[in-house]
Every structure is written in C-alpha cells, then in structure tokens.
C-alpha cells in the first residue's frame, strides 16, 4: 500500500455521535425528541390512506391520500395534489373516507 501524505490542514470535527434520542444521524443535536414533545405535544406523524378497488380476485389497492397527524388534528392531501382535508385525527379521516390507515415511518 502507498502511504498518503497529510495535507497539512488541521482535521475538521463534525460533532459527536448522538445518544440515540437526538434528532439527526451520527451528529450530536441540541434538540431531542423529548424537547419537541414538551414544546409541541405529540410529534408529527406521516400516514397514507389506502382504498381497495376492483372485484372478485382483481382487487387493486391504491394510495388515495397522504397526511400528517399533529396534536391539533390531521391534514390530508390527495395523491393528485387537489383533494385537501382537515380531520380530528388520522383514524377519523380513514373512517370517513372508507380507507385503510397506514403509518409511514
């Protein structure tokens, strides 16, 4: 193997690894999930609503809307970007639209 010569510039340190609950990957963060919960209540959660179409063995499952759930309620937007809805929660949106709720992430 060849030996690589040092550049002469001092090393650049980008932080320490996180403790596991900090936001970010591999970088120490000043804001933890607990900090966010204290400030905003529950953390936002992304979801999708799926509906089944077709009949007898031809069932097709499609995503009809994506949404975000916050402590104040849920908001959905259709996959085409036109259908927007405000709901009490994600479960309420699924029930009213006759869809299956799938949490993302």
- How many whole angstroms from its chain centre is CA 77? 15
Per-residue pLDDT, 29 = 62
pLDDT tens column, 15-74: 554 445 555 555 556 777 787 777 777 788 999 999 998 877 778 999 999 999 988 899
**Measured between alpha carbons, how far is residue 3 from residues 6, 15, 78 in Å?**
9, 27, 57
**CB-CB neighbours of 25 under 10 Å:** 8
Rounded (to 5) percent helix, strand, coil in the chain: 15, 35, 50
Per-residue pLDDT, 54 = 82
**CB-CB neighbours of 73 under 10 Å:** 14
Per-residue pLDDT, 11 = 63
* Lateral strand order in the sheet of 45-53: 84-87, 73-78, 60-70, 45-53, 100-104
What is the reported pTM? 0.61
- Does the pLDDT of residue 1 top 50, yes or no? no
Q: Between 91 and 54, where is the model more confident?
A: 91
Place of tokens 């077709």: 54
Residue 67's SS3 state is: strand
């Amino acid at each position: 193997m060849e030996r690589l010569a040092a550049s002469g510039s001092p090393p650049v340190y980008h932080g320490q690894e996180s403790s596991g609950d900090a936001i970010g990957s591999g970088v120490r963060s000043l804001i933890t999930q607990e900090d966010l919960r204290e400030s905003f209540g529950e953390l936002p959660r992304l979801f999708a609503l799926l509906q089944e179409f077709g009949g007898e063995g031809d069932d097709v499952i499609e995503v009809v809307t994506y949404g975000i759930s916050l402590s104040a309620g849920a908001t959905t937007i259709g996959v085409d970007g036109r259908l927007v809805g405000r709901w009490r929660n994600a479960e309420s949106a699924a029930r009213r639209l006759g869809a299956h709720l799938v949490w993302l992430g």
